[in-house]
Structure formats: structure tokens, C-alpha cells
Chain A
Amino acid sequence: MTLLALSFALYLFALWKRPLLYGGLLLQIAYMVSRGAELGRLPLVGPHDTLVFLTASIAAFAIPFGFTLKERDRFFAIIAAAAALFTAFAMTAKQHNSPLPPVLKTFWFEFHVVLAFMSYALFGIAAICGGLYIKKQQSTVDGLAYRAILIGYCLFTLSMIFGGIWAYLAWGTYWMWTPKELWTSILWAYYSFYLHARLTPSWSGKPMAYLGIVGFGVVMFTYLGVSLLMKSSHSF
């Protein structure tokens, strides 16, 4: 937990000194590796581990994405604030330390979770770009948001496919009528809407930015809201 607390501090100070963001990310990676070694598996179960992974993914994706921007200082400052916030939540969230049930010991599950959180991170980056675009209306920021969503959508779709294959092998069916599956479909349909809306001139500019921001709200509800409030195979 010390490593995580240190990474939180570095993310917080990265609001003023950007290189500290890299330090925060490295410490978080070290924390995940140490936790993985301790548990003997990928630490991807429960709100604590998934929040840590989400934060590290946001920071890791933000680095290559941010360097293409003119507004990079502001962009990295927002990323640092978001990373600090999610790390703080992770530190207060419950750790899942008990052995996994046999059905979770498969690479289908691991890929399913890893890809889902990578896509969530990219949707988060797109939302931050959306916020920046509303303020300054720079086309590079808009382009970056689109790229983040396109790659995020690709990873999210792959995560759904892996989830379907895993569910078929584990429970005999690729689709189950649970709130999580329904919200996952809502999220997927939402970003399908985003990508199609982008092809029409009437949606270009600020409406797309707002769509990107609202999208991350849907992501957060699908991830935390549904898992914490509703009963499903994805409950925490």
C-alpha cells in the first residue's frame, strides 16, 4: 500500500510538475507487479485492483496521446488530477485477496478485464479532450478524442467478444440477461452512436465533445454503479 500512497502523492504533485506523472505511473506499475506476485495471479478482481489498473491505464495512454497536443500542460494536469482521484478511491476500496474460484482462472477472463479497463481509460481520455475542446476549440484535441474513442471502441468490442467466449465456456451461454450485460450493451451502442454521429456535419464540433464527456459518465456507471448496486456475475 505504501507504493500506492506514494503514487497518489506523485500524481497530485504532477499537477504542477509533469515528470512526476511518469513517476506515479511507474510506482503504480510496481505496486501491481508486487500485488500480482503476492497473489499469484493478475490483480484484476474487485474495485481496489480494477481502480488501480484503470488509473495506470489512463496515465499510460495519456503519455503518447498528450504529446501530440499544443495544450499538453493543461491536458497532463487534468490527467494527473484524475489519476490522483482514482488512486484515492482505490486506496479506500476493498481488496480482494482470497483465491479465485476456478471459473475465473482463465486467460479469457484476464483478457476480458484488461481490455475492458484499457477501453475505459481511452474513453476517459476522450472525455478530457472533450472538455479541452469546449474551452479552446482546437481541431487537434477533437481529433485526439476521436482516435481515443475509436481505439477504445475496438478494445471494448474485443473485450465483449472475449467475455462472450469465456461465458460460453464457463456457463454454457454467451449472453446472460443481467444488468451488467444490458449496461455493457448500452455503452457499446452509445459509442456506436458517437462514431456514426461523427460522420454527419450537424454533430461535429462541440456536440461531439459533449457526447464524449457524457460517454465517460456511462462508462463509470457501467463499471462502478452497476457492479456495486446491482446483482450480476460482475458484482463486486
Chain B
Amino acid sequence: MKILNYILKFFLSLQTSLWLLGLSLLLMLVGAVIMPGNPAFQELHSIQLFRWITTQPLQITWWLWGLIGVLAVMAVNTLFCSVESIIKKRKVTHWLLLISPQVIHIGFLFILLAHLLSSAGAYKMTAVAREGSLIRISEKAALLKVNNINIKLDYYGGIADYKVDVEYIRDGKVFERDVIRPNDPSDKTGVNIVVKNISPYPREAVLLEIHSEPGAVWALTGGILFMAGIVCLIMLKVRIER
């Protein structure tokens, strides 16, 4: 019982939050020193974090392991503090002032969840394609056909704009058509297809990247909640001050 009490006290403490934030800062600072000088981190752009981290030596990944651990404890600490705050202060008159920080905390937890999902389940594939190329984009037997690559050059010969017409084929039949533009990916089959690079010479060609980010929706939801909470908190603080 004493140990349980101690654990509860630990997770309900603001001091714990500060220590965890401080520790995460320290670990990220170490990472910021280790990461730029090490080419092994380039691979992180193409495979999931959890798969990559288990294949790399501990000398370069220890700070990431530490950070994952600290963030896990921070998630529990955030949850406990929020629940306690709501229980303790539920009778206050400014309930919005009570709920806003908790909305921020929920947003933060969603963002952590997003990173967890992406670190475990994201995938990326690249393919060079020309007009007429066929690319297998997933195990669900869907094919992507690049129909037309349209590149607009500027006065200096640089790429001003582009447009790639694609169609999705399953069982020999076209079931969807789409156009990929800058900042406008194609996502008709649950994966995000973007043009990573495009070349007008000697023949139009594109480097396509096919992404699956299972955490994206959670990250967006978390971001919206975080912002809603913080904007609400600032507005209430201004009103109370006035």
C-alpha cells in the first residue's frame, strides 16, 4: 500500500513533470549532437523508428531509447495530473479555466499517440516513373499508372509548376483517377503519394514517394485540441486580468 501511495504521489507531482521535461530536453540535446554527424540516421527517413532503432548500435541510439522511456512516463504523469486536477477543482466557477489545460494535455497525448503509431506502422516506398509506368503501391493488388507528366519551366529554366496525371488499376480495371500537384498529393487508396523530385530532361520523369502515416490523423486531432485549449486559456486569462 505504501509503495502504491508513493507511485501515485510520484505521478501526480508537478515536480515529476518538470524533471521529465528537463530530462527529455537533455536527451534531445544529446541527440542533436549525435544525429547530424551520423549517416545511420539518414535511414530513419525510409523505415519505421521502432524497426530502425533495434538494428542500430546502442552508442548512437541510447538517447532515443531514453527519450521514448521518458515520454512514456510523461504520458502517464500528464494523464494522472489532468484527472486529479479535474477531481480537485471541479467546483470552481471558471470551469473553462479548469478544462483548458486538460484539453491541452489531451492534445499532447494525442500527438504522442500519433508518433507512437507512426513509429511502429509507417512505411515509405520510392519509385522512379515515366509516362506509362506502372507501380505496385500496396499488397492490396492496386497498381498506379502514370499517364501524363506536365512540367512548367520558369524564365530561369527552373521548375515553376508541375502536374502528374495518374490512375489506379485493380484487376486490370481503372477504378480511380487523380492528379498529383505540389502540396496536393494523391491519397485515393489510403496511402499518400507525393512527387519527391521531377526532371524535365532528357525525358520527363518523376520520383514518387508512397507514404503511409497511421499517426497523421491523430497528430492533426492532437494539434487542434492543443491549440483550442491554449487559445481558450489565453482568452480566459486576459478576461480575468481585465
> A200 touches which one: B14, B209, B213 (CB < 8 A)?
B14
Complex: how many Å from CA A231 to CA B42? 11
Q: Assuming the A-B contacts A102-B162, A177-B45, are A169 and B185 also in contact, with contact meaning beta carbons closer than 8 angstroms in the complex?
A: yes
Closest residue of A by beta carbon distance from B194: A172
> B216 touches which one: A150, A157, A174, A200 (CB < 8 A)?
A174
Interface flag for B223 (CB, 8 Å): yes
Q: How far is the CB of B26 from chain A (nearest CB, A)?
A: 10
Count class of interface residues, chain A: 35 or more
Let me know if A176 and B192 touch, CB within 8 A.
no
Interface flag for B174 (CB, 8 Å): no
Residues of B within 8 A of A179 (CB): 32, 35-36
Let me know if B28 and A182 touch, CB within 8 A.
yes
Q: How far is the CB of B39 from chain A (nearest CB, A)?
A: 11
Complex: how many Å from CA A161 to CA B184? 17
Q: Assuming the A-B contacts A177-B35, A193-B18, A196-B14, are A106 and B28 also in contact, with contact meaning beta carbons closer than 8 angstroms in the complex?
A: no
Complex: how many Å from CA A176 to CA B227? 22
Residues of A within 8 A of B227 (CB): 154, 157-158, 161
Q: How far is the CB of A138 from chain B (nearest CB, A)?
A: 17
Let me know if B18 and A196 touch, CB within 8 A.
yes
Interface flag for B68 (CB, 8 Å): no
Let me know if B213 and A172 touch, CB within 8 A.
yes
Let me know if A186 and B160 touch, CB within 8 A.
no
Complex: how many Å from CA A166 to CA B184? 10
Interface flag for B219 (CB, 8 Å): yes
Let me know if A103 and B21 touch, CB within 8 A.
no
Interface flag for B17 (CB, 8 Å): yes
Q: Using a CB–CB distance below 8 Å, which chain A residues touch chain B?
A: 98-99, 101-103, 105-106, 108, 150-151, 153-154, 157-158, 160-161, 164-166, 168-177, 179, 182-183, 185-186, 189-190, 192-193, 196-197, 199-200, 230-231
